[in-house]
Amino acid sequence: MKKKPRMQDMAFMSVAVLAVVACIYFPVPTWMLIFSIMVLVVVLIGVLGNLGLFERQP
Protein backbone atom coordinates (compact mmCIF):
# COMPACT_ATOMS: atom_id res chain seq x y z
CA MET A 1 0.00 0.00 0.00
CA LYS A 2 1.24 3.44 -0.87
CA LYS A 3 1.72 5.80 2.05
CA LYS A 4 0.00 9.16 1.66
CA PRO A 5 1.74 12.29 2.88
CA ARG A 6 0.15 13.57 6.06
CA MET A 7 -1.03 17.14 6.53
CA GLN A 8 1.55 17.69 9.24
CA ASP A 9 4.35 16.61 6.92
CA MET A 10 3.19 18.92 4.14
CA ALA A 11 2.83 21.83 6.56
CA PHE A 12 6.27 21.15 8.03
CA MET A 13 7.85 21.03 4.58
CA SER A 14 6.25 24.32 3.56
CA VAL A 15 7.35 25.99 6.82
CA ALA A 16 10.90 24.71 6.30
CA VAL A 17 10.98 26.11 2.75
CA LEU A 18 9.64 29.45 3.99
CA ALA A 19 12.28 29.52 6.74
CA VAL A 20 15.02 29.08 4.11
CA VAL A 21 13.51 31.86 2.00
CA ALA A 22 13.29 34.08 5.10
CA CYS A 23 16.99 33.48 5.79
CA ILE A 24 17.81 34.57 2.23
CA TYR A 25 15.67 37.73 2.40
CA PHE A 26 16.47 38.42 6.03
CA PRO A 27 15.33 42.04 6.68
CA VAL A 28 11.69 41.12 7.30
CA PRO A 29 9.67 41.94 10.43
CA THR A 30 9.03 38.87 12.58
CA TRP A 31 5.25 39.38 12.73
CA MET A 32 5.17 39.57 8.92
CA LEU A 33 7.12 36.33 8.63
CA ILE A 34 4.89 34.49 11.11
CA PHE A 35 1.74 35.83 9.43
CA SER A 36 2.86 34.80 5.95
CA ILE A 37 3.85 31.32 7.14
CA MET A 38 0.48 30.79 8.81
CA VAL A 39 -1.44 32.03 5.77
CA LEU A 40 0.55 29.93 3.31
CA VAL A 41 0.20 26.76 5.41
CA VAL A 42 -3.56 27.25 5.76
CA VAL A 43 -3.93 27.96 2.03
CA LEU A 44 -1.81 24.94 1.11
CA ILE A 45 -3.82 22.55 3.30
CA GLY A 46 -7.09 24.07 2.10
CA VAL A 47 -6.18 23.73 -1.59
CA LEU A 48 -4.95 20.16 -1.21
CA GLY A 49 -8.07 19.29 0.78
CA ASN A 50 -10.30 20.75 -1.93
CA LEU A 51 -8.47 18.74 -4.59
CA GLY A 52 -9.27 15.58 -2.63
CA LEU A 53 -5.66 14.59 -2.04
CA PHE A 54 -6.37 14.29 1.66
CA GLU A 55 -9.24 12.16 2.90
CA ARG A 56 -10.80 13.31 6.14
CA GLN A 57 -10.62 10.43 8.60
CA PRO A 58 -12.00 10.78 12.13
Q: How does DSSP assign 4-58, residue by residue? A: PPPHHHHHHHHHHHHHHHHHHS----HHHHHHHHHHHHHHHHHHHHHHTSS----
For residue 29, what are the domain limits?
A: 8-51
- Asked if residue 56 is part of any domain, the answer here is no
Q: What is the pTM of this model?
A: 0.38
Reported as a single tens digit per residue, the pLDDT across 8-22 is: 676 777 777 877 777
pLDDT 10s digits, 20-49: 777 677 666 777 777 887 888 888 777 777
Query: Tell me, what's the pLDDT at 15?
Result: 75
* Total number of domains in the chain: 1
Which pLDDT score, from 0 to 100, does residue 1 have?
A: 43
Amino acid 55: pLDDT: 59
Q: Is residue 25 part of a domain?
A: yes
- Distance of alpha carbon 37 from the chain centroid: 7
